[in-house]
Structure 1
């Protein structure tokens, strides 16, 4: 294979990986918002870890058990339904491993059916290909606004 085609192939693999990772980030949001915690926990590698305000858990089953124990159901409309928005992903791919950094926001239905933006935070991710699919190896969730009292130091 000529060098130009090899370079093109490598660049294409990185672009495909970034798109698959963007889809993983959105699937995380979607499954969390509908509280499909079984599908949510399957987004993690077999030795993947989730850490945030709700605690820390490892492996899909551990993550499933922890979050089902602490997260309430997301009430249907017209209740104070909550949605996650994920924005500004910065993804670096290195073969079958990657890192990603992104921002998240909660949008909640407020009084008078108005949208509220009560929380802003960040995700720090280490990702890995497992069984041919990108999965979270480590997802660290931090709250930025309002200040997270657990992160004062």
Structure 2
């Protein structure tokens, strides 16, 4: 596989992830992760594909409506490993009919596992969270 093909596949990885979020599809979503992947949402990571999926399913249960949009990732490849950075927009609806918006950035380590690119680790940085009208709290990107 050429470096250009690897870059394209790595750029598609966050797209597949976002597609699975919007469809609430746990199988497709968890297939984006390495078996020993790590998800950094806060200080301590969630470790392992199955543990990551459980946390995601619990979170998604609180959002019957989810729009998750991702910009194409900036990618670097080094053999069977790489890094990517992508920016996301989320509009989430809660069971009580409220909604809010989140903007963030994922910094990822990716690895080729069983012939396909998957997330080895994802580190999420919130840039904004609050009302859809953007009157909420903003966080500087560091």
Question: Which interval holds the TM-score relative to the shorter structure?
Answer: 0.7 to 0.9
Question: Which structure is larger by alpha-carbon Rg, 1 or 2?
Answer: 1
Q: Which residue of 2 aligns with 1:7?
A: none
Between Structure 1 and Structure 2, which shows a larger proportion of helix residues? Answer: 1
CA distance in 1, matches of 2:61, 2:125: 19
**Structure 1 equivalent of residue 89 of structure 2:** 105
Partner of 1:42: 31
Task: Output the CA distance in 2 between the equivalents of 1:121 and 1:68.
Answer: 20
In the alignment, structure 2 segments of 5+ residues that lack a partner are: 94-98, 130-136
In angstroms, what is the RMSD of aligned CA positions?
Answer: 2.5
Q: Which residue of 1 aligns with 2:60?
A: 71
CA distance in 1, matches of 2:77, 2:24: 29
Structure 1 residues 128 and 148: CA distance shift in structure 2, 3 A: farther
Deviation, 1:130, is 0.5
CA contact (8 A) 2:21 2:66 kept: no
1:127 is aligned to 110
Name the TM-score, length of structure 2 as normaliser. Answer: 0.77
Number of aligned positions between the proteins: 127
TM-aligned CA deviation for residue 141 of structure 1: 1.4
Partners of 1:45 and 1:108 in 2: CA distance = 26
